[in-house]
Structure 1
Amino acid sequence: MLKIYRSNTQGQLALMNEYIKGTWIHLINPTEEEIDDVVKAAEIPSYFIKDPLDEEEKSRIEKEDEGTLIIIDLPIMTPNGTKREKFITIPLGIIVTRDFLITVCLKETPILEDFTRKKVKNFYTFMKTRFVLQLLHAVSTYYLAYLKQINRKTNEIEKELRQSLKNQELFSLLNLQKSLVYFTTSLKTNQVVTQKISRGQHLRLYEQDQELLEDVIIENRQAIEMAEIYTPIVSGLMDTFASVISNNVNNVMKILTSLTIILTFPIMIASVYGMNIPIPFQRSPHAFAVIMIVSIALSSITTFVFWKKRYL
């Protein structure tokens, strides 16, 4: 998908049909034809657009004569086949040229939709440096929002696990733990890119954008700290409930073993008196009662001993 946006001095955003200086070229999982079209119009290398389309591409910033390529990881929330969503990260390419600002992403995300739906204040397509910083700030804000959702979902799963220890809840915790690992790694690489931008070597910085740049650095640092705090919490929670499940299994096995031992004495006595050999009390009219009393007494004594030792 290829869309071209241009804003006027009042901040009103409009769709365009041609490449005009100061426009924002928005690419979402573009076709080869769209890639070639933008490459020719912006006069940039094709890898500027193709690299961000690789899901494994790492965050980086690269400056060439044709323009500057910035790749960062942004968070998205995807369905997981269950009632809970899965959090992952995908690359976002930001290409700054003399005449255009180009964004490339594999999927449409709420972060970019906020710009196309005019939810971002003081957004102008021709102010490319501010646009880049606004994108970075929006990415950091969404990281913080998703981290809060992960923390809330962790608390919900913990409550469910206290009531019913199921494998599904443990798998949900595992997915959250993986999401936190992805978030932490992506945030740290994004922080490196932001620090390079702050030096002013790859992107021209303006005095009025310094405050926004500082906000980006602070928001990103806060997101890193939150991810690093939540990661051991989720890991500890998984270990705790895994130990609880193992302990419950041990308790069940202990009870079953105790019951087996308690029932062994009646079974042994019944087996002996079921043999076709001379045995005591075989001609006594009270043989059955005596056998039952002895069996119950042995089982009762064994039960009492196990109860005192808390095996039951």
Structure 2
Amino acid sequence: MDVFPPAETDSTAQAAAARAPERVKSWQHLTAPRPADWVAAGQLADDWDFAQDILDPDERSWLRREQGRVFLTLQFPVSGPGEDVWTLRPLGVVLHQQNLTTVLAEELPTLSPFFAQMEHLSSPPESIEILAAILKILARSYEEALQQLNQAIHDNEQQLDWTQSNGDFFTLLEISKSLTRFEVALVGNIATAFKISRLAEIRDDLPATRQVDTALLELQVAHERARVYAGTSTSMMDAYAGMVQNNINHGLKVVTVLAMVFYVPSMFATLYGVNTTLPFQKTHWIFWVILLLGLSIAGGLAAFFKRKGWI
């Protein structure tokens, strides 16, 4: 658990919690907080459910105002165990007057540099400015993730042109699933960012308003890109699946045609190989007649199928 500025001692934590509404402008960050950490940070015990919601990786983006406090969550993209697998992790924000508290279940690579910079500031910016900066980081993180996924789509396309292996198809499937997650998450983030832009605390600060509006626009652009990339990956999967099926059908057709070509000489060889009395079996030229007749019919069938483009 990280708290910025550093948490107070046990003797002063209760007093700080009691006078939380009168606290001066501040920002603090909690990572995987416990109930005692939550109260020590100046939050109400009744709001502990919000901190538990942030621990759920599937928590969606939303915003609500309750008892003079603004509670909101934002979904950040996080690179998963695979190179082309991306997941989502929620960031919780509590805005109360001039106090801002951010909550994470685990540290996020996209936010860690910003939080580290804020930690070393002797006088952090105002809470609404920090919130606006977080929205900018959110939009930039989606842009960077989408760029990587778009590059992965192109790399996978080139790989599929050569191999058409199941592993490449599964990679493309993971990319498509990640883009679908982004598309859905961005809808919630955009709705939450729009509600943030309508907050009175934001509208009273012109620079913060501009930053939030810019972040909202970038999120909308990212959503459109995610939608296009998701459609592209789905179309690629359908196209390659159809191509693989067509190749299978072509292979079966070639095998069938070759079987028909070799069927006639095989039939003649089988008929004149049985242990019964057959016409002209005593002659010395019947072997060459059967051989030439079988090869002629097979050659004619092969020429016919070749002209049709079946082999």
TM score, norm. by length of structure 2 = 0.87
One-letter amino acid of the counterpart of residue 78, structure 1: G
For residue 124 of structure 1, report the CA deviation from its aligned partner. Answer: 5.8
CA distance in 1, matches of 2:191, 2:170: 32
One-letter amino acid of the counterpart of residue 274, structure 2: M
CA RMSD, Structure 1 to Structure 2 (Å):
2.4
- The aligned runs of 1:18-33 (5 Å cut-off) are 18=8, 22-30=25-33
SS in 2 for 1:4: coil
Residue of structure 2 in register with 1:257 after alignment: 256
Residue of structure 1 in register with 2:301 after alignment: 302
Residue of structure 2 in register with 1:282 after alignment: 281
For the 8 Å contact 2:87–2:178, the answer to whether it is kept is yes
Deviations 1:143-175 (A, max 9, x none): 011111111110111111111111111111111
Residue of structure 2 in register with 1:118 after alignment: 117
For residue 85 of structure 1, report the CA deviation from its aligned partner. Answer: 3.0
For residue 98 of structure 1, report the CA deviation from its aligned partner. Answer: 4.4
SS in 2 for 1:305: helix
Instruction: State the identity %.
Output: 26
Residue of structure 1 in register with 2:76 after alignment: 74
Residue of structure 1 in register with 2:162 after alignment: 163
Residue of structure 2 in register with 1:230 after alignment: 229
CA distance in 2, matches of 1:289, 1:107: 84
Residue of structure 2 in register with 1:109 after alignment: 108
Which consecutive residues of structure 2, in runs of 5 or more, have no partner in the other structure? 17-23
- The aligned runs of 1:179-190 (5 Å cut-off) are 179-190=178-189
Residue of structure 2 in register with 1:3 after alignment: 2
For residue 105 of structure 1, report the CA deviation from its aligned partner. Answer: 2.2
Question: Is 2:141 the counterpart of 1:142?
Answer: yes
Between structures 1 and 2, the one with greater helix share: 2
For residue 56 of structure 1, report the CA deviation from its aligned partner. Answer: 2.3
Residue of structure 2 in register with 1:12 after alignment: none
One-letter amino acid of the counterpart of residue 30, structure 2: L
Which consecutive residues of structure 1, in runs of 5 or more, have no partner in the other structure? 7-15
Match of 2:58 among 53, 56, 59: 56
For the 8 Å contact 2:55–2:105, the answer to whether it is kept is yes
Between structures 1 and 2, the one with greater strand share: 1
CA distance in 2, matches of 1:99, 1:217: 22
One-letter amino acid of the counterpart of residue 31, structure 2: I
CA distance in 2, matches of 1:153, 1:119: 34
